[in-house]
Every structure is written in C-alpha cells, then in structure tokens.
A and B are shown apart, each in its own frame.
Chain A
C-alpha cells in the first residue's frame, strides 16, 4: 500500500513509498555467527522525514538518490518511528528523478523540542565551543561541539564540518535531534542550514514548571519546596581530570592524574505542579551547605552527609538549576547550583505563570 512519510505509524506492514535518501551509513556487527552488515540513515519526501534501517540495500545507493521501496515495514525504536527494509522488500533506484523534501519542522523554542522529533529549527546563542578531529573514510574531518541556548533552555550541539563560533547568535534550520546518555542534543550535518542572525538572547535563569518538562533539555531552573531527602548518600572516587568514577585509585585515560572524592545524593522537590528528583554532587551541594571543598576532601568518609542534607534542604524553598535527564523512571535534574529562592525567582515564576494564561 502506498504511503507518504507523514502517514506512516508504528507496526505498519507492506509499506510502499517513493523517497529521497538524505543520509546513508553502513555498520558491521560481529557475533558468534559471524559478521552482519546493515545500513541506516534518513529517508525524506514532501511530507517529512523518517529514519531507516536496511538489512539489504543496493550497494551503489548514496545520499541524494531517489528510490521506490516496496514491502517495507515500520516499528518504534528509541521512541521514534523507524522504517525497515528487509529481504522481502524491493528497492528500485530512480536515477532520473528528484523530489522535494520537507526537512525542518516549525521554529521551536529549545525547551519545546520534543525528544522524538527528527529535525527542528532553532535560534540561539552558541557557547562552550571546542573542536576535535576525527577520521572518516580515511580522511580527517573536524567536529565542533558546544551548546546552543535561547531564553528557555540549553542543549548540546555538534557540527560536522560547519564551524560553530563562540557567542554567535545563529538560526539553524534542519538540525537533527538526538538523545545521548539521557540528554537531548542537536547535530548539524551537510544539509543543515546555519546562518548568523541578529536576535536578543536574554541572560539569566531559564525557569520551568515541573509539569511543563517534556524533554531532557539543559540549563534550566526549577523552584520549589524540598519534600524529601534520599537517605543514601554515596562517596565515590573520581579522576580529577575527566571526573569518571574509578573502580580503583587510577584512571585508565589519565593514569598520572590524582583521584578526588565526590558525593552522590538526591532530594525531591515540589513546585505544586509535580515533583522532580534532583541529583547533587560535591560541586553543586557543598557551596550550599557552606562546606569547603578542602574540608570535604580531607574528611569525606567521616562526614555523615545525610543529616547535613536533611538539615540544609528539607522543607526549604529553593531555586535549583541544572540539566534535565531522561531515564527509566522519567525525568530527573542533574543539579549544577542550589540557591535559596529570592525575590527575582518569585518574579520569574510569576512571569512564567502569566505567560501560560495569556
């Protein structure tokens, strides 16, 4: 049965489509039965885009080709609908044809990017840019990594080849949405358009109501009363360079770097709309409980942290900033800073609530 991409839902069988291959990559997996090769990428037509996995594909197919696919199927993978091409499917190359592809969705505020979106367009300021080299098809390429933020939230961004300039304000059309380790990210590929624009991105806290959290975006602030403090506060040893938890005293990547103590605790905050689990480490907790980092490093195993957390956090009205993470039990907040709620926070929340009712 013939379909347009926007009409494909999960668990469809015998799908026939005509689409443009927007990207295609090959991957080889090894197991006890031997090697398996499969292809993956993005298909697009004039109604939208969809990721695909092909267990068989014509070897000469490349991005930009138009293909007619018969007997495909669909299923849900990582929360997104995916198109599958298997041995029952037929892929016919259409060498002289071209089709328009609807790439980007509407321009979105960063906090409104759904984690199951394929492509989005955003306007924001680029910060924290670093660059790395990587080898692909025997050639050296550059990937730029950083963050993009608007007045609502911040997410990681990676750009393969196209330069990201620190503190530039840009409009990005057709950025690919991905999720890694529970955090949302955007990536800029060959077909993504990026241009500098003049737009005012206000500084300051990006307030969110807990019930309005829809995807794991970063750089946000929630306010509320702490209603419980987790009894289990762990002490870990971490590498002082990469901050990875160490099984023994030495980091494999940084064998000469000394190890440092860190803590891992959690509390539940309520803002009246819902509750949110907040995870703290030594960087976010110690300044709030007025403990110096040196003291914690000297006495990490002697300090009973749970009563300290209870005394300083439980029942308090706080303004907590950090990054939302998506996990098996829903959203949580990786806290970067804790403050007592102040008049500016109350004004910020009042503005947020007024906007909601407008």
Chain B
C-alpha cells in the first residue's frame, strides 16, 4: 500500500521547543507539540544565526523571532544532498527549511528536537512575512479549537468540525487536551501576536528608512543638521517608534547616507 506523504507542519520554534516525545505505531519517537501537532515533518522560515561544519556533519541554528530551530545534516546520511544543502547557506541568510524532526534525549532526561533537512532554500523578506502570517493563522485556529474542546464535558471531534474547523485542527485539539492539560496557551498566543507584529515592522524598514532620510534632507533648517528630537517626533507621526528610529539612523550612517554633524544632529549626504 502506498504511504501518504507526511504533511509539512508549519510551526514556530517556541511550539516545537515545548513539545513532548511520543512513540508512534511503529515505536518511532515523534514530537507532539502543545497545540496537538504530530510534528514528524515541519516547515519553517528564519534567519541563520550560527553554522558549524566539518567533513561529517553541518549544524545550523535558525531564528524565527520566537526562538531557535536546531538543524543537523550528515555526510553519510540517507540523503547525499543533505549536508551539501546546508553547507550552501551562510549566517544571516533568510531561509526556508522543510525536514524531519528527530527527538534527542539529554542526560537530564529532557528532549531536544533537531531537524534533518529535506529542502533548504534562500528566501526574501516577504516570503518570511508570508510564512509568519500563515504559521500564526494555523496556530491561532488550533488554539481556538482547543478552547472549544476544553468546554466540552465529552470531547467530540465531530462537534468541533461542525463549528467550522478542519478535521486536522479538531484532531490536534483533542491530542492537545489529552497531553497538555496545564499548558499556558494564552502565553503562546501572546508570543505569536508578537511575532506577527515584529515581522510587519521588519518588512516596513526600507520604507521607513526612505521616509526618515527624506525628512533629514528636507529639515536642516538652520544648516546645523536635523535635530534627533525632531526626527523622533516626525517618526512618531508616521507611527514609527523611537527604537526603530535609532536602528534606521544607525543603518543610514553605515550606508553613508547621513552623517552626524554634531551630537544628535544629522545631515544627509547629497548625491553627486
């Protein structure tokens, strides 16, 4: 009989980190996440934070803004391309990885979940935003389904499906309440909201950078450079917070677009 391909579950690193290891019908360990996702294979996006490589293996850590994914590829593995794929990426690259999850038991008895990559590809910022939106959507749907099933005296998947959830979401909800009775779902929900907000802010950085540069060039009224305080007020009117302003000013300085005339006063470098 042909085996159906294990689905690629889109999950945040924090969901994987809080998983438990269970045995499947073939006595193989798999990760069950707090949201009830049977995470045999996952798909995630993030920025490469570190990379270690030798002849036998390559290890990378990937940050998705909620935490880290640990990815390992071996030279002598089942897939000869595995290590080559991971070797082709560099730190600070934005990447998408789809791969199998391997639970490892530590000496303290806890489980760490590392990923063996099957697909690795470099991505752009808007692909990362897309992944964040969709992963957040999937997680929220599962949390809402869990809340519904928690209200039931006799948990029933069919009733969850009748409410408009998919079979998969309903099954996840049931697995969740059976294995994560005391889990703080609200905390996970709050962290997911944060991930979406920070992803949006990051994607708007180029636009904000252009607006601030234009403001600095057009508002050097006394010829002594545009005041930091004025830039912050102008940015606030554009719904940009002070920490983003500081980050943008640093970037503009390193790009040679502006220079600091005197303390906290900036001037734009004119085009030749």
Which residues of A approach B to under 8 Å, CB–CB? 209, 211, 223, 225, 227-228, 268, 270-275, 314-317, 341-343, 345-346, 349-350, 353, 356-357
Contact = CB atoms under 8 A, between A and B. Distances in A.
A351 to B, nearest CB: 10
Nearest to A353: B137
B126 A341 contact: yes
Nearest to A223: B130
A101 to B, nearest CB: 29
Query: 4 tightest A-B contacts by CB?
Result: A315-B121, A272-B10, A272-B134, A317-B127
Interface in B24-65: 43
B1 to A, nearest CB: 14
A346 B126 contact: yes
Given A275-B8, A316-B121, A225 B43 contact: yes
Nearest to B119: A315
B166 interface: yes
Interface string B106-150: 000000000000011101001101110111011010000000000
12 contacts: A211-B166, A225-B43, A225-B98, A227-B8, A227-B43, A227-B98, A227-B119, A273-B138, A341-B127, A342-B126, A346-B126, A350-B133
Contacts, number: 70
A346 B120 contact: no
B35 to A, nearest CB: 13
A315 B99 CA distance: 11
B5 interface: yes
Nearest to A224: B134
B192 interface: no
B159 interface: no
B96 A349 contact: no
A341 B119 CA distance: 18
A349 B166 contact: no
Contact of B135 (A272, A316, A346, A356): A272
A314 B126 CA distance: 18
Contact of A228 (B5, B126, B131, B135): B5
A317 B8 CA distance: 14
A314 B43 CA distance: 13
B7 interface: yes
Nearest to B164: A356
A271 B121 contact: no
Given A315-B119, A342-B126, A271 B134 contact: yes
Contacts of B119: 227, 314-315
A357 B121 CA distance: 31
Given A341-B126, A346-B133, 7 more contacts: A225-B8, A225-B43, A225-B131, A268-B5, A270-B8, A275-B5, A350-B133
Given A227-B119, A272-B138, A273-B166, A349 B133 contact: yes
Contacts of B126: 341-343, 345-346
Contacts of A353: 133-134, 137
B198 to A, nearest CB: 15
B261 to A, nearest CB: 35
A286 B7 CA distance: 28
